[in-house]
Structure 1
């Protein structure tokens, strides 16, 4: 009878390696929004993902330092807005590059709502409007899981993509 070989526990990696490796994956840029007690709020959400189509469910990961977390938890809703190539100014505003914060990032003519009251970018390639079902804590991150209450999409347009720490408009070669 042979012995089962011992399996070593995987070694951890440092945060720099984690982010550099994750950055090798191109991802569509999103802005996650909510209507909080003090008005509209949001953040650049690079970790928004689908969970299942039946029932339609999404998740977003929100760092405890993100000011929008309190509004998402209080309002029990969020919208995931998929940014089009022409919305780099929106990504800059929510990514802290435009010198704006809070409700100042929401130009009223550019936003509307769907089912929950969360702000929805009119020019978004697609948007999912969700009600919060569950929140899972992992370190300093809240993984917020929501059921889709409304959705809309455009038939045209190119995505705004994040790759290796940079924003890329359209479907041009990344690099």
Structure 2
């Protein structure tokens, strides 16, 4: 099996586009997180998977927090920016950001935000799984941006 075939097959499943954010001495960081899931409701826990080379990982580990920002409908350009290549300042210039329970950057227009304390990390192969205890949530109830087959669609 090739990596291309793997990613095409993973991309066949539509998922909510999320931006995973944190802030520390170096400033805010964030990346596009397409591997986000809940773990448990008691205690409220979520996970995000990131490539080991994701530039935001050292900041998330140092800050010991992260926020999962579910992108609202119409945020395909923001998804592309956080998907890589753009400087962090350019990524964060694309939206209005505040802070939430942990201090992690929270997108003011996000369809939903899960603000988390980093509980543990699990490293396997080329990925790091971030497991976070949810300390705050909020929703806007509007549409979302979905990632599907290499592009973005609104729901």
Runs of 4 or more off by more than 6 Å in structure 1? Answer: none
Q: What are the within-5 Å matches in structure 2 for residues 23-172 of structure 1?
A: 23-96=11-84, 100-107=86-93, 110-155=96-141, 157-168=142-153, 170-171=154-155
Which consecutive residues of structure 1, in runs of 5 or more, have no partner in the other structure?
A: 1-12
Q: Whose RCO is larger (CA < 8 A, sep 6+)? A: 2
| Number of residue pairs aligned between Structure 1 and Structure 2 | 155
Name the structure where strand makes up a greater proportion of residues. Answer: 2
Taking structure 1 as the reference length, the TM-score comes to 0.83
Taking structure 2 as the reference length, the TM-score comes to 0.93
Aligned Cα root-mean-square deviation (Å): 1.5
Q: Is the 8 A contact 2:95 2:107 kept in 1?
A: no
Which consecutive residues of structure 2, in runs of 5 or more, have no partner in the other structure?
A: none
Q: Is the 8 A contact 1:39 1:103 kept in 2?
A: no
CA shift digits 1:101-156 (9 cap, x unpaired): 1233213960001111110000000000000111101112110101001111012x
